[in-house]
Amino acid sequence: MARYVDVHPENPQPRLVRQVVEALRDDALIAYPTDSGYALGSRVGNREGRDRILRIRGLDDRHHFTLVCRDFSQLGQLVHVDNAAFRAVRAATPGPYTFILPGTPEVPRRLLHPKKRTVGVRIPDHAVVRALLEELGEPLLSSSLILPGETEPRTMGWDVKEELEHQVDVVIEAGETPAEPTTVVDWSDGAPEVLRRGAGDPDRFG
């Protein structure tokens, strides 16, 4: 049964943040709020976390996972970013964008796209996520909480707990989140290609 943690959306209580991070370090799978709806998250080193996310979302191994980062320097350790991408990604973060870029050796092979060797990265603009990443000290392996047959992420913690009571370990409640998923921009071939139009303005990459 999932544990339900009610956190203040703008000033998350450090004690509760530490409890969630301790669960993550014990290989928990969490459902947490972002600036573009709810997401599923686990530690990068949690091998089972990846498989649990795929099962919940009904996805196969070709799914592009996202590494949620605290800041741009952390992001830069995980993906190769050329000068043009560097300027654009830096200008758009933090915010509701996911960028697909070639992974560095820091990223486990099982998290890379099997053919392209790419991975998604993003820096959310949400106080709860920032607090979690600061306490954890490493990126979160993540995927939007869009369930099979649905097109938008879940937006309320109580709703997530009701739906995924026995499939996740922790649900963080922090008030309603936006219903729109991130805008996904593939920059792996040297020029931006918008794969999904979402909460972030896609025209800046047009």
Distances (CA, A) of 2 to 31, 105, 157, 169: 10, 34, 11, 4
Q: What is the pLDDT of residue 94?
A: 96
List the structure tokens of 183: 């805008």
| CATH value of 3-205 in 3.40.1360.10, 3.90.870.10, 1.10.15.40, 3.40.50.300 | 3.90.870.10
Burial class for 27, CB neighbours closer than 10 Å (0-12, 13-18, 19+): middle
Instruction: Report how far residue 191's alpha carbon sits from residue 28's, in angstroms, rounded to the nearest whole number.
Output: 37
Residue range 74-102, pLDDT digits in tens: 999 999 999 989 999 999 999 999 999 99
Question: What's the start-to-end Cα distance of the chain, in Å?
Answer: 45
In the chain, domain spans: 3-205
| pLDDT surpasses 80 at 204 | yes
